[in-house]
Structure formats: C-alpha cells, structure tokens
Structure 1
Amino acid sequence: MAFSLPVWLAVQGELLENGEADYGTLSCFDDFDDEALFQMFHLTRPCLTFITDSARIRMKAVDVDKSTLSVDAMVMVALNYYAHGVSSTALLQKFGLSQTESPAIIRTVSGVISGMADQFISFPFTRDAKANVAFKIKKICGIPRVLGVLAPAHFKIRASPYEKNSFRSFVNTLSYTSVVSQIICDSDGNILSVEKCCVGSTFEQEIWDSSFKGRELETELHGPYWVIGGKGYSLSKHVLTPVSEPANDMEKRFNEAHAKIYDIMRITLGSMKRRFRCLMQLGFAQENSLNKKSDIIKACSVLHNIAKKFSVPPPPVAGKIEPLYPGKPYSVPAEINLEALNARQNLIEEIFSVVSCSQDSIGNNAEEKA
C-alpha cells in the first residue's frame, strides 16, 4: 500500500538518467556481512541499497559539503542512530567523526528521508485503493467502509524541569514527557499518514481537527468512509469510536471488533520502536522547536514502510510490546453528533445484531504481523 514497483523503477530510472547508478562502485555497506548489517541497522542489504539510492536523488537538492562524507556514509550514520538511539563510536571512527559531529549529519539525512514521505507514505485515494483497504479491514473485524486506524503516537523526550511551563506542556496523561504525532495505518501495518508533532499534553481531537487528513475526511473528500479512532476522539461521520457504555450484546460485539482492528496500531508502533530504537527516547526538546523531532518521526515512518515492502522482519520482541496510548478525552464532553451517533448505531444493528462465525472468532487469532 505504501508504494509499489513503479516507485522502485522510477528511482532506478532517475539514477541511470543522471549517471548515478554505478553498480560496480563499492559502497560503505560492502564492508559488512549481512548479519552485521542487520545488527547495525535492523535492515537488510537490498533494503539498505534501495534507501541509499532513493536518498541520493534527494541529496542533490540539499546543500551538503561534498568534501566531507559520501551519501552512503551519511545515510549509514543516520540509519545506525535510528536503529539504536545512539551513534556507534566504531562507525563514527570509521569516518573520522566525533560524537559532536554526528547530530548535524543525522539532521540532514532525517530531513531528506522525511521529504520522501510523498513517495512512500500514501493514503488510499483512488476508488479501487479505498475498496481494497476497506475489504481487508472488514475481513479482519467485520466493520465495513474503514480506510485505516487513527491514533496518537507518543514518543518520549527529555525536557528541562527548570522551565516549568514548558515542562508541563510535554507531560502526557501517563505522566511522562513526550511529543505526539498523528498516525493512520492500514490492516497490514503500513503507515498511510503521519503528520503533526505536538507537545505531549495536546488532545488528540485537537490534532485531528487541525490536521490535513482530518479536514480531508471530515469535508467528504474521501467519501463515505470511516477511520477507526480510540476513546480520545469524538465520534463523527468519519471517525468511528467504541461505544463508551455498551448496553447490549451487539454493542459489546461491535466494541470487540473495534478493539481488534485498533490493536493493529499497537502492533505497528511496537514494530517501529523495535526497529528504530531512537523512537524510544528522542532526546531533549523545546516547545517552540519540534521540527527536528518531526523529521525523525516521519523519516522512521518512511523507512518502516520501505522495510515492510522488502519483507524485513523487525528485531525480536524483548518483553511486552508497549501498550497503545489510552487517549486524552476532553474534561468537558464534546457535544454529541446525533448524525454520527445514528450512523454508528445503524452499523451496529446491521452488522453485529447476530453473531456470525467471523465475529465469534474475534480476538482469538490476532497476528502481530506489523
């Protein structure tokens, strides 16, 4: 869903057109065997080659001191940081770099890879693409006309407690400091949309209301489809939330189906954070300067989709997968949208009034395939 074979062909075509695809030239990655590459970058050699080729095209438009490092070396430094959250001293020494020099390289590469989101992160736009995504989701949970799973993704940061007002703005409802981005994924764990980078105390409904994707959906640009949202979102014509207090069996069945598809986001974010451990702790942040964090989050989302297209497994789970952020509903309940409430109730009565074989198995065979 994130990108297809034509994208690969376009990248290779542009490289050949500009004389860049010299497959006889040794790359920095050739110094390592496949096992070492995966340990260092949590990616495979073909995947790394594709990423580097793609970044090389974009690097042409970036003002980089070409006398310092090759594109391969710059990408290698950044990918190593994404994978482990710190730069390998041995890798930096290989290129004659110090720990103080690597952040500038990581910022440059993060800006370049995040700029590749227009190619590698795509929301279903055509009729066939929407129907395909909705079909897969319905097959899993029984809920029709769903284009994706919507959730706030929180990433831990450090903030100075001496700047009290700024510090409080980063504290989320789980009492740790974070930044939050809005992410939508499909049933296979591909990232369909990532936008915003706000302080951790921000309400997800507030992010949705001001987001590009929120405005597109709520103004009917994508037609009569839903996205699945958690308790922190308000029920609307296009955000389908669970029933807060289910009063009967069919509402309970609906909530079970909703929870099953919503759990895909937990698995997806868990997979991303295992592969890119920098997302477990993004370092220090200031309220008025979140662009650097946003670039890293978006770059990792791009790389996540590319890794999935190359069928690169994430590193194994160490302990439990981090639970999904529970949501931050407004302290004053939002005004009830009667049209949306009726639409959800009609859906529940139409689909969940009778137990089907597929609904009866909900929750029994959840696969962590992201």
Structure 2
Amino acid sequence: MALLEDHANGMIRRERVFRDHNDLLAHDDDWLMSRFRFPRAMLLDLCAELGPALERATRRNHAIPVQTQVLTTLGFLATGCFQRELADRSGISQPSLSALMPSVLNGIIHMGSRYIRFPYTVDEQAEIKRQFAAMSDFPNVIGAIDCTHIAISAPSEHEFAYVNRKHVHTINVQVICDAHMNFTNIVARWPGATHDSFILTHSSVGNRLQAGAGRDGWLLGDSGYPLRRWLLTPVLNAQSAEEQRYNEVHGRARSVVECAIGLLKCRWRALDASGGRLLYQPAKVCRIIRACGVLHNLSQRNGIPLPPDLPPPELDPEAQPPPRQVGFQQGARVRADVMQRL
C-alpha cells in the first residue's frame, strides 16, 4: 500500500523508455530511393551539410541523430505518410518528429540561395536562351513561368482567401524554370484565391524584369498572364498560319514548366493532391513547398532518377482566365516581331 501511495504522489519517478533509433542508411540504394528519393551517398552529403544546424547542445544521452532527423523528414516529403507511421519506422515518437521537422525544413530552405537563382547576368541568360532554342526553336527565352496549387486543410484565419476557383483550399505557388526543369524562382506565400498575374506583379522577379533586368530575354507564360515586353503569352483565337506557328513553338517551349511541376509533385508526394491535403497551417505548408523546391533542384542537378515504383509524372496545366490586358502595346509589338522570326 505504501508503494502504491508513493507512486500516486509522484514520489517514485517513472523510468523513461528510449527507443533504439533505426539505422535507416543500412539499407541499399533502391530502398533508400523509394523512401527518401536519394541514394546513400547523397543522403550522407545532405546530413553533413545540415548537421551543424541540427546538432543541438544537450545534456541528454539520447539526442536524436542528425541522420534520423533528416531521413524522417525526407520520408514525410517523399511519401506524405502520417507522422506517426514515419516516426515508428525511425524509432522516435510522433511529437519528436513534429518538433524536429521545422529545423530540418529551415536548413534545406537556407540552401536555396545556391540551388534556386534567377538568371539576371548576361552569361546566365545566354546559357538558358541556348537551352530553350535547342529544345523548342523559340529565341531569347530566359524562363517558363506557371503557377500550381497545393491543397491544404481549411485554415482558421482568412479561410475564404484560400478557396481557389475549383472551390478547394490551396496555396497558389509561382514557379519559373529553365529548359532542363531546374527551378530558377519559387514564390510560395499566396492564398489559393490569388490570381497568377497578381503573384508575378508582386514578386521580386516581376518587379526586376519590369525595370529592365530581362535585357532582351523573355519569360513564356500561358494566357493567364498579361502580355508584356518581357513576358510573351499565346495568341488567343489564332487565325493565321503565322499565329498558329507561334502558338505551337510557344507551347512547346512553355510546356517544360508543366513537366517540372509534375515532376516536383511526383517525387515529393506530400505536395500531390492524390496524397490528400497538407494538414498544417499555411505558413508551415509554404516552408514545406520551398524545401521541396530546393530538393527538386538538388535531384535535377545530380541526375537523380525517379524510383521505378512511382507512377510517371503528369502535366500540371493550371491556366487561369486571362487578366485584363492593360498597357500591353509594347508586348504586342514584341510578340509580332517574334512571329516574323519563327
């Protein structure tokens, strides 16, 4: 009885139970690719780069290893599985995974300045123009732009602003890519009801290109964007052979951004609607999106293929109704000149 009373009064300290952290890197590359999207060598490099930010000063003897933190977070991004399932596989608790994930995401995002850069210099633009010309015959292209929607649960604040035109709560994400499907710009902060053209107008890339940073290069966008001297869109209701040829070449060059978005969502299933909605507040979802963008470029630059067990990526056409074309005379003249050169 005395023992039971001491336990009830908290005088006997409950022994803490520590799980063994599984050595996830002990598996072969096929297993690692299927669950974390990278082979062992790249996972080790990523852990080494993120290590200084994740190795916290602690007096405990059971701190979660950096490898477990990184791989469990990558497992969530790659599969979109529930946190409890991923935590059990890694030998940690679900609350521990929830607590460590923001630090891993932030560490990946901080790598973005090296992996996601828009081409403003002459040399950078020249290389991307060459890539697009070789791929599509469209001259002077410095990027293809589009937006995509990432489904989320209804947020507690400003819920109506996140309802897109398909009546789904989303984040509307702007991406620009080169001809090799590397992202050169990602803007992930606007609610789903925001129009694509508004996001571009209020982005740093849009402002700099409007100020002349595009030099003689153009972005290619769909009809949801306004026609500008630095942003070329398709001809609506093309009639002449010249207009139809322009639309054909324009579509071939611009389709690369739809392929890039499809590849992003295929590789990082947490972003794909087939995996359901992301059950987090919008600010955390935006960090998840940005981290996936960095990891996408890391995969592309190192030639990492998709695991063979994944379905092939789908195109991601998300064209919005055309905006009002105000002050587009300069863009119309540029587009007419391009038609004559094709």
Within-5 A mapping of 1:345-356: 345-351=336-342
Q: Report the CA distance between 1:94 and its aligned residue.
A: 5.4
Distance 1:170 1:64, change over 3 A: farther
Distance 1:80 1:95, change over 3 A: closer
Within-5 A mapping of 1:165-204: 166-204=158-196
| Matches of 2:338 and 2:190, distance apart in 1 | 34
Deviation string, structure 1 residues 210-248 (Cα, Å, up to 9, x no partner): 101111111112312111111111001111111112120
Within-5 A mapping of 1:332-343: 333-343=324-334
| Matches of 2:153 and 2:51, distance apart in 1 | 32
| Matches of 2:88 and 2:82, distance apart in 1 | 11
Tell me the equivalent position of 1:10: none
Tell me the equivalent position of 1:148: 143
Tell me the equivalent position of 1:35: 30
Deviation string, structure 1 residues 301-360 (Cα, Å, up to 9, x no partner): 111111112211123552771532122434xx2314111111111111122xxxxxxxxx
Deviation string, structure 1 residues 265-321 (Cα, Å, up to 9, x no partner): 1211111111111112452355xxx32112111111111111112211123552771
| Higher CA-based Rg | 2
Q: Which runs of 5+ in 2 are unaligned?
A: 1-21
Tell me the equivalent position of 2:125: 130
Residue identity opposite 2:120 in structure 1 = F
Tell me the equivalent position of 1:249: 241
Residue identity opposite 2:153 in structure 1 = R
Return the match for 1:325 from 318, 321, 325.
Answer: 318
Distance 1:325 1:90, change over 3 A: closer
Q: Is the 8 A contact 1:121 1:193 kept in 2?
A: yes
Residue identity opposite 1:269 in structure 2 = I
Residue identity opposite 2:330 in structure 1 = E
Tell me the equivalent position of 2:77: 82
Q: Is the 8 A contact 1:265 1:324 kept in 2?
A: no
- Secondary structure in structure 2 of the residue aligned to 1:346: helix
Q: Is the 8 A contact 1:196 1:207 kept in 2?
A: no
Within-5 A mapping of 1:66-145: 67=60, 68-87=63-82, 89=84, 91-93=86-88, 95-145=90-140
| Matches of 1:119 and 1:201, distance apart in 2 | 31
Residue identity opposite 1:335 in structure 2 = V
Q: Report the CA distance between 1:191 and its aligned residue.
A: 0.8
TM-score normalised by the chain length of structure 2 = 0.85
| Matches of 2:151 and 2:57, distance apart in 1 | 30
Return the match for 2:214 from 190, 212, 222.
Answer: 222
| Matches of 2:291 and 2:115, distance apart in 1 | 10
Q: Is the 8 A contact 1:47 1:307 kept in 2?
A: no
Q: Runs of 4 or more off by more than 6 Å in structure 1?
A: none
Distance 1:35 1:291, change over 3 A: same
- For the aligned residue pairs, the C-alpha RMSD in angstroms reads 2.3
Return the match for 2:305 from 296, 301, 313.
Answer: 313
Q: Is the 8 A contact 1:282 1:293 kept in 2?
A: no
Deviation string, structure 1 residues 175-226 (Cα, Å, up to 9, x no partner): 3221011110111111111123211110111111110111111111231211
Q: Report the CA distance between 1:90 and its aligned residue.
A: 6.1
| Matches of 1:44 and 1:189, distance apart in 2 | 21
Distance 1:137 1:205, change over 3 A: same
How high is the sequence identity, in percent, across the aligned residues? 25
| Matches of 2:104 and 2:268, distance apart in 1 | 15
For this pair of structures, how many residues does the alignment match? 315
Tell me the equivalent position of 2:11: none
Does residue 54 of structure 1 match 2:49? yes
| Matches of 1:65 and 1:272, distance apart in 2 | 36
Q: Is the 8 A contact 1:47 1:306 kept in 2?
A: no
| Matches of 2:167 and 2:58, distance apart in 1 | 42
Q: Report the CA distance between 1:109 and its aligned residue.
A: 0.8
Residue identity opposite 1:141 in structure 2 = S
